[in-house]
């Protein structure tokens, strides 16, 4: 077990969460989007085979500080990724340029972000964090530990105030599905296809790719 350094209550979560799926997705599903991203920045040949972490932070904008009349907005951000070593290196590089003494990252002159990883990723030598990786399939103890870690990630992503991810990943689509709840405060009205119950979806932001979610597994 482990204790999160922020409010974990689903009804009043005070942290954001970002899901960064790389690994085998970069070989197929995400490859087109990666090439598109780098081409838009003038690269015919991508310098790396993934979309950088910095791109996921574009939703944190200075206008939010202006609209609220504050200088800084502090946020805890939980990161779930199968590429923790590289993501940590990216964060360290960003902090060198726009960081603070307490190790937070200042984004767009407004948001002060403090990042948190799953405790099992605190060891920088851990090369992977995917259920299908990290040892022989016959190693039941290792697979059990990774399964529990992955499920805890899923719950944390689901309960976050704002979730940033993408629908190329089954995980991203499942998180969106689990962030849907019935909205009892809004009157049920007749929809295009008949009488539809009104639902509420907790804040979901798409890092890249299609914004039309398919069912998880498709």
Q: What is the pLDDT of residues 10-53, one digit of tens each?
A: 455 689 999 999 988 888 888 999 999 999 999 999 999 999 99
Hey, CA dihedral for 213, 180, 68, 15, is it positive or negative? Answer: negative
Length of the chain: 218
Helix axes 140-159, 170-178, angle to 10 degrees: 50
Comparing 14-23, 79-88, 140-149, 168-177, the range with the smallest average pLDDT is 140-149
In contact, 60 and 111? CB cutoff 8 Å: yes
Q: How do strand 162-165 and strand 15-20 relate by DSSP bridges?
A: parallel
Tell me what pLDDT residue 132 has: 54
What does the alpha-carbon distance between residue 213 and residue 197 come to, in Å, rounded to a whole number? 19
Kindly report the average pLDDT of the chain as a whole number. 81
Structure tokens given for 14: 């005070």
DSSP 3-state of 81: strand
Tell me what pLDDT residue 6 has: 57
Rounded mean pLDDT, 199-214: 84
Rounded mean pLDDT, 116-121: 78
- Give the residue, 178 or 137, on which the prediction is more confident: 178
User: At residue 98, does pLDDT exceed 60?
Assistant: yes
């Amino acid at each position: 077990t482990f204790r999160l350094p922020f409010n974990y209550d689903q009804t009043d979560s005070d942290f954001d969460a970002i899901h960064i799926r790389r690994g085998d997705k970069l070989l197929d599903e995400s490859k087109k989007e990666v090439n598109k991203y780098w081409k838009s920045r003038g690269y015919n040949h991508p310098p790396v085979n993934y979309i950088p972490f910095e791109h996921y932070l574009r939703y944190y904008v200075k206008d939010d500080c202006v609209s609220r009349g504050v200088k800084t907005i502090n946020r805890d951000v939980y990161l779930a990724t199968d590429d923790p070593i590289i993501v940590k290196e990216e964060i360290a590089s960003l902090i060198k340029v726009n960081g603070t003494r307490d190790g937070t990252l200042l984004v767009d002159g407004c948001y002060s972000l403090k990042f948190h990883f799953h405790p099992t990723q605190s060891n920088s030598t851990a090369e992977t964090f995917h259920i299908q990786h990290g040892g022989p399939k016959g190693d039941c103890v290792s697979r059990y530990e990774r399964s529990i870690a992955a499920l805890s990630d899923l719950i944390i992503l689901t309960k976050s105030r704002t979730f940033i991810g993408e629908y190329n990943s089954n995980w991203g689509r499942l998180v969106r599905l689990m962030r849907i709840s019935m909205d009892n405060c809004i009157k049920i009205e007749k929809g295009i296809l008949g009488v539809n119950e009104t639902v509420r979806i907790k804040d979901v932001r798409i890092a890249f790719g299609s914004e039309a979610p398919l069912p998880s597994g498709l």
